[in-house]
Amino acid sequence: MEINAAALKEKRRMLWILGALVLLSIVFYMTIDVNLSNSKFLAFSMKLRTPKMVAMVVAAFAIGAASIVFQSVINNTIVTPCLLGMNSLYTLIHTVIYFFFGAASIFVVNAKASFLLDLVMMVVTATIIYGVLFKKTNYNILYILLIGTVLSSLFGSMQEAMIRVMDPNDYDNLLLTLVAGFDNINGEIIVLCIVLLLLVAFFLRKDIALLDVITLGKHQAINLGVDYDKCIRRMLIGVTIYIAIATAMVGPVSFLGLILSNLSRQLLKSYRHTYLILGASMIGMLSLVAGQILVEHVFTYAIPVSIFITLGGGIYFLFLLLSAKKG
């Protein structure tokens, strides 16, 4: 039974409309300017477009879900994992592996092994760093933001320092994997990523319901019988894996998470995380696919889609900060 059936129905309808729009944009992206009469041309365009399309869908889901969950865990809607340096941490770890193992090692040559090692190290370090950070500052958002920004540039400079003393051949190799973007997708790990995303979602499905309660604040959550610390830890691990996957596949996209989570919250005005996550991911898919269509067919690859995102996201972030002041 539901406490507010009418409002819920409306929210479900919004999600269906979003879903339909996503499907439409995907179909449009796959078929625009394709020569359907010649099967060889068709096969070629599909081969080019399918990995890109899948990567966009996966990245949108990973970033949207991770941002919503992360925001609810620290109870603030203008912070994203990215803002606190999770992306830079991933880049740093990736560099460290190249630095110590060298370009000939299995962890570099084999994309899957490389990704899995990245992932394990990322989960371990990020849960320790961010877990301690949240606990020590007692979830005080100002400190978290401050320390997070410092961490972000610290990881960045550490990575830069390493690059400078690196073997030039290793560096060359590293750069190829670091500049992943929507036009240069790390295709070898797509299947692995999808499996991982689904596994994590399956294991955390119960915690998502607890997240609704956790947004009432730590004390209320404990009062209502939630094992707070354990749940937060599990959620953080999930977020880390999602961010690692997104970064490995399409590279760092700074403001995407912020845009997606806030648009989803504004659109759905709901506290239900299943809805918010679905909303954020679908808005992500829609904007990424639409953006990519623009990039490929209007700007003919002159401007990559991440530039649009960073530009729009930066402005949107300022807008959020300024409008939050008033309220």
Residues that bind another protein (CB under 8 A): 1-4, 75-77, 209, 212-213, 215-217, 219-220, 222-227, 265, 269-272
Which residue lies nearer to another protein by CB, 1 or 298?
Answer: 1
How many Cβ atoms are within 10 Å of 168's Cβ, its own excluded?
Answer: 7
Cβ 227 to another protein shortest distance, Å? 6
Which residue lies nearer to another protein by CB, 75 or 254?
Answer: 75
How many Cβ atoms are within 10 Å of 102's Cβ, its own excluded?
Answer: 15
Closest CA to 55 of 168, 164, 189: 189
d(CA 255, CA 203) in angstroms, rounded, equals: 27
Which residue lies nearer to another protein by CB, 174 or 260?
Answer: 260
C-alpha pair distances (Å), 163 with each of 114, 160, 301 = 18, 5, 29
**Residues written for the chain:** 327
Side chain identity at residue 116, one-letter code: L
Cβ 203 to another protein shortest distance, Å? 18
d(CA 249, CA 194) in angstroms, rounded, equals: 11
Residue with tokens 């961490």: 151
> Please, which contacts does 2-10 make with residues 24 or more away whose CB atoms are closer than 8 Å?
none
Cβ 21 to another protein shortest distance, Å? 23
Cβ 1 to another protein shortest distance, Å? 5
Say how far residue 239 (Cα) sits from the centre of its chain: 8
Structure token digits, residue 214: 């956790």
Cβ 244 to another protein shortest distance, Å? 26
3-state secondary structure of 123: helix
Structure token digits, residue 235: 């959620």
3-state secondary structure of 167: coil
Which residue lies nearer to another protein by CB, 76 or 137?
Answer: 76
Say how far residue 255 (Cα) sits from the centre of its chain: 10
Closest CA to 228 of 12, 74, 85: 74
Cβ 292 to another protein shortest distance, Å? 32
Which residue lies nearer to another protein by CB, 134 or 182?
Answer: 134
Cβ 217 to another protein shortest distance, Å? 6
Which residue lies nearer to another protein by CB, 10 or 172?
Answer: 10
Which residue lies nearer to another protein by CB, 151 or 226?
Answer: 226
Q: Is the dihedral of CA 20, 25, 28, 29 positive or negative?
A: negative
Which residue lies nearer to another protein by CB, 193 or 276?
Answer: 276
Which residue lies nearer to another protein by CB, 205 or 297?
Answer: 205
Residue 271: in which H helix or E strand, if any? none
Closest CA to 74 of 143, 2, 175: 143
Cβ 226 to another protein shortest distance, Å? 7
Cβ 163 to another protein shortest distance, Å? 39
